[in-house]
């Protein structure tokens, strides 16, 4: 097993340890990706900065992406480790190179099931940590120090990780640990799987794009990539209202109710009968026929 120990802002840790979040954004100023090879679900440990030179918690890696500051706040809000947009922006601008950038891009590492240990459970980093490391480093179970450190983690948190990923929760290759998607993680993985393009129109203007659940979360639909579509905001509303649907063959259908009730909709009817413009490249990440069929039969006003 390979895992990552990331250098963690003390204020970020202190704030989120009081929040009880199901997922968090471990952000990097400047959009840097601190690691290149980390499996979905791999353990991600928090190593606090000086003077708190300890490993103080863990989470499961979900995804890495780059987002403008404004959208990162829209997606994660307080899960960024700040109580307000203004405070979050202050945190970012003290660390980015170009402080005049209107909407700086930041690196966003999505982590699920974060665990913030009590002070008495912190692990002294000294035996495992090289003082020259600035961002973080990999640990591998093949190495003695890595095995010893992981044994310390397990002694503190037996429930943090499980041996297998259930079919209902996974959205990629099965890994050693569970990576349960929350609302923010769902939005990130759907956005990137669709190459940041609306599935129906191909629109690329990121602020207008939203991750739609096919089977609504309020009706026990999962935060699962195969239960998602990336849609322009107006199509998202129409989809949720049952005025637009997508067949299991990825064909767009537009309800006649738009014309009947509002005497309008030419911009939408042009797309009736067309195949989706954008789909994930990996067939295993595309919308599930089961969820699409549910929407066709239970939500769409034919």
Residue 179 near residue 41 (C-beta atoms within 8 A): yes
Fold designation for 2-156: 2.30.130
Q: What is the pLDDT of residues 134-148, one digit of tens each?
A: 899 999 878 888 899
Quote the pLDDT of residue 96: 81
Quote the pLDDT of residue 158: 66
Give residues with Cβ within 8 angstroms of 138, minimum separation 6. Answer: 2, 3, 4, 35
Tally Cβ neighbours within 10 Å of residue 30.
15
Calpha distance 66→261 (Å, rounded): 41
Quote the pLDDT of residue 101: 85
Kindly give the pairing relationship between strand 228-232 and strand 136-140: unpaired
Calpha distance 184→188 (Å, rounded): 6
Q: What does the block give as tokens for 20?
A: 């009880």
Calpha distance 189→193 (Å, rounded): 6
Specify the pTM. 0.89
Boundaries of every domain in the chain:
2-156, 194-298
Quote the pLDDT of residue 95: 84
Burial of 153 (0-12, 13-18, 19+ CB in 10 A): buried
Block residue for tokens 């099965």: 174
Q: What is the pLDDT of residues 38-77, one digit of tens each?
A: 889 899 999 999 999 999 999 999 999 999 999 999 999 9
Task: Tell me the average confidence (pLDDT) per consecutive run of 10 residues in the chain, 302 residues long.
Answer: 93 97 94 86 94 94 95 98 96 83 94 95 92 88 87 79 38 46 94 98 97 96 96 98 98 95 91 97 96 98 90
Quote the pLDDT of residue 34: 86
């Amino acid at each position: 097993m390979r895992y990552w120990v990331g250098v963690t802002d003390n204020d970020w840790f202190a704030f989120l340890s009081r929040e009880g979040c199901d997922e968090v954004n471990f952000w990097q100023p400047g959009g840097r990706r601190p690691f290149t090879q980390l499996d979905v679900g791999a353990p991600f440990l928090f190593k606090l900065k000086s003077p708190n030179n300890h490993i103080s918690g863990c989470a499961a890696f979900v995804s890495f992406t780059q987002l403008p500051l404004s959208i990162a706040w829209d997606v994660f809000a307080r899960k960024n480790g700040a109580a307000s947009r203004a405070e979050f922006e202050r945190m970012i601008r003290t660390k980015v190179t170009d402080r005049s950038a209107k909407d700086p891009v930041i690196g966003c590492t999505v982590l699920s099931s974060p665990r913030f240990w009590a002070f008495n459970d912190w692990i002294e980093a000294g035996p495992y940590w090289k003082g020259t490391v600035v961002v973080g480093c990999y640990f591998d179970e093949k190495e003695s120090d890595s095995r010893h450190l992981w044994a310390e983690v397990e002694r503190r948190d037996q429930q943090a990780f499980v041996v297998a990923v259930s079919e209902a929760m996974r959205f990629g290759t099965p890994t050693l640990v569970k990576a349960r998607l929350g609302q923010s993680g769902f939005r990130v993985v759907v956005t990137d799987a669709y190459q940041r393009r609306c599935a129906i129109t191909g629109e690329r203007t990121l602020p207008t794009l939203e991750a739609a659940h096919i089977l609504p979360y309020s009706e026990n639909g999962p935060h699962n990539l195969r239960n998602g579509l990336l849609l322009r905001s107006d199509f998202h509303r129409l989809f949720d209202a049952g005025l637009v649907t997508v067949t299991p063959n990825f064909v767009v259908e537009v309800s006649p109710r738009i014309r009947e009730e509002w005497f309008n909709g030419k911009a939408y009817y042009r797309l009736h009968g067309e195949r989706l413009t954008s789909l994930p490249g990996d067939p295993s990440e595309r919308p599930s026929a089961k969820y699409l069929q549910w929407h066709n039969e239970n939500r769409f006003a034919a």
